[in-house]
Amino acid sequence: MADVASRPSDHSLGRPGGPASRYSRALSFSLIGPLLLLLLVGFLYPIAALIKLSLFTPALDFTAYRKIIEQPIYLSVMARTFRIALSVTIASFVLGYPVALAMASLKRRLAAVATAAVFIALWSPVLVRSYAWIVLLQRNGVVNNVLQQLGLIEAPLKLIYNEGAVILAMTHVLLPFMILPIFAALRSIPQEYVCAARSLGAGATMAFLRITLPLSLPGIFAGCVMCFILALGFYITPALVGGPGTLIVATLIGQQATVLLDWPFAAALSTILVIATLTMVLVFRKAFSMSKGFASVD
């Protein structure tokens, strides 16, 4: 009893003199100072410079933004970029959630092997994986040769240099970013919750829908946000696997900045992409926060 009474309670963490207040304010700021400086120099300053470049050339001018609105081709590129990013996110979730669920149900050693396999795919260079899809999907590639040998097709199919090939290749590249956060969220769910639901008469499907799925929403949120944001800024894979008809914003920005040297217009495209990305993150956050499973981590 004496040991129990002598332990500091959880509420004492926030009291003066507790573990949370043992550092002075000056020391706390000195500890987080390098991170704040890195955030300022590596993130906030470049974004501010982009916004300034898109608006002041040298005086206040909205020509670059009017160009995006007035010319339908740029709005079409924007819409295609968000459509591909959303499709890749949905495909990654549909394919990644069952894999993460299977990994979470494995024993420790087998789970470590499965996690290593996912990390190996994550560490593989994007350029190599993109070229692998070119080998598989090209006119004389592996897929067309197999289909012809099986007699399923007479002439090679056009499987590459289209939007479907871009979505497929990008999903393959971004799948680990969906699997790992969901796997971490599933592993943190106590199995006693599911056992309690089953003992109270819930079936396997009901236990999954009422217990496992809601409690895994933080991992789903993290995976969806990472996949969506990374898909919006993808450059290498769409440039290699896609064709002229699958131009996306990242490729368009590269062309404007390096080929046409229209830096204000490239900055305007980048600014719109950043604003749209932040908006979509807030939308994801609001949608997932409606779940009790997600709200429990706040």
18-56: per-residue pLDDT in tens?
A: 455 566 788 888 888 888 888 888 888 888 888 888 888
Question: From CA 12, how far away is CA 5, in angstroms rounded?
Answer: 13
Largest CA distance in the chain: 84
Is residue 50 within 8 A of residue 271, CB to CB? The reply is yes
Q: Is the separation of the CB atoms in 244 and 73 below 8 Å?
A: no
Token duo for residue 285: 């956050």
User: pLDDT band at 178, cuts 50/70/90?
Assistant: very high
37 within a domain of the structure (yes/no): no
Query: Cβ–Cβ contacts within 10 Å for residue 77, how many?
Result: 19
- The residue range of the domain holding 283 is 64-295
Answer whether residue 33 is part of any domain: no
Tokens of 211: 């217990």
pTM: 0.80
Residues in Cβ contact with 139 at an 8 Å cutoff, skipping those fewer than 6 apart: 156, 158, 160
Asked whether residue 279 is assigned to any structural domain, the reply reads yes
Residue 60 DSSP SS3: strand
Residues of the chain by 3-state class (helix, strand, coil), percent to 5: 80, 0, 20
How far is it, in rounded angstroms, from Cα 47 to Cα 197?
49
Q: Which residues contact 267 (CB under 8 A, 6 or more apart)?
A: 50, 51, 53, 54, 64
- CB-side exposure of 228: number of CA atoms within 13 Å? 23
Q: Residue 9 burial by CB count (10 A; 0-12/13-18/19+): exposed, middle or buried?
A: exposed
Highest mean pLDDT among 22-31, 60-69, 263-272: 263-272
Mean pLDDT of 263-275: 89
Q: Residue range 184-190: average pLDDT?
A: 90
* Residue 163 vs residues 58, 132, 166, 227, 246: alpha-carbon distances, Å: 39, 17, 5, 17, 6
Number of domains into which the chain is organized: 1
Does residue 90 sit within a domain?
Answer: yes
CATH number for the domain spanning 151: value is 1.10.3720.10
- In this model, does residue 12 exceed pLDDT 60? no
Please provide the average confidence, as pLDDT, over all residues in the chain: 83
Does 289 fall in a domain? yes
How many Å apart are CA 135 and CA 137, to the nearest integer? 6
In a domain, 39, yes or no: no
Tens digits of residue pLDDT in 270-295:
898 888 888 888 887 777 676 555 55
Q: Is residue 35 part of a domain?
A: no
Q: Give me 53's structure tokens.
A: 């470049």
**CA dihedral for 100, 104, 110, 116, sign (positive or negative):** positive
Q: What is the distance between the alpha carbons of residues 3 and 102, in angstroms, rounded to a whole number?
A: 42
Burial class (CB in 10 A: 0-12, 13-18, 19+), 31: exposed
pLDDT in tens, 212-240: 888 898 899 899 999 998 998 888 888 88
244 assigned to some structural domain = yes
